[in-house]
Amino acid sequence: GAVVSQHPSRVICKSGTSVKIECRSLDFQATTMFWYRQFPKKSLMLMATSNEGSKATYEQGVEKDKFLINHASLTLSTLTVTSAHPEDSSFYICSARVPSGGLLTYEQYFGPGTRLTVT
């Protein structure tokens, strides 16, 4: 199946600094990627939809100026957490959408996630 990677897998940063997380589709092109956030012992919550060559679509309550998303190529989307604070500490997961053969049918492949800790 399709492989999605994320880098870094873990990052610790100081409060007030910015952190960039990369999501790559390794053996396929993805026009659409999704960014999710997972709190400890909680489910995944969609943050935004990243479309190659256009602005990301953010979910209600997600600050687009704080969580900057760039999808500059068909294999790479980045999430930058700007001016990070301890409450931004979380597990961030991306997924890439792939046509799965049927009419208008897609499948989503998930990256392994990035654990962000802000001190």
Partner 1 sequence: AQSVTQLDSHVSVSEGTPVLLRCNYSSSYSPSLFWYVQHPNKGLQLLLKYTSAATLVKGINGFEAEFKKSETSFHLTKPSAHMSDAAEYFCVVSVGMDTGRRALTFGSGTRLQVQP
CA angle centred on 70, ends 58 and 1, rounded to 5°? 90
8 Å CB contact between 6 and 110: no
Region 20-39 residues binding partner 1, contact defined as CB under 8 A: 32, 34, 36
Instruction: Tell me how far, at minimum, the Cβ of 83 lies from partner 1, in Å.
Output: 26
CA distances from residue 56 to 12, 20, 40, 53, 101 in whole angstroms, order as listed:
25, 16, 26, 9, 26
What CA–CA distance (Å, rounded) separates 25 from 77? 9
- Is residue 60 at the binding interface for partner 1, with CB under 8 A as the rule? no
Q: Please choose, from the candidates 49, 54, 42, 37, the residue with its C-alpha nearest in 3D space to the C-alpha of residue 89.
A: 37
- For partner 1, the closer CB: 16 or 106: 106
- For partner 1, the closer CB: 29 or 106: 106
- Single residue of 49, 82, 89, 117 touching partner 1 by CB under 8 A: 49
Region 90-119 residues binding partner 1, contact defined as CB under 8 A: 93, 95, 97, 100, 102-108, 110-113
Which residues make up the interface to partner 1 (CB under 8 A)? 4, 32, 34, 36, 41-46, 49, 93, 95, 97, 100, 102-108, 110-113
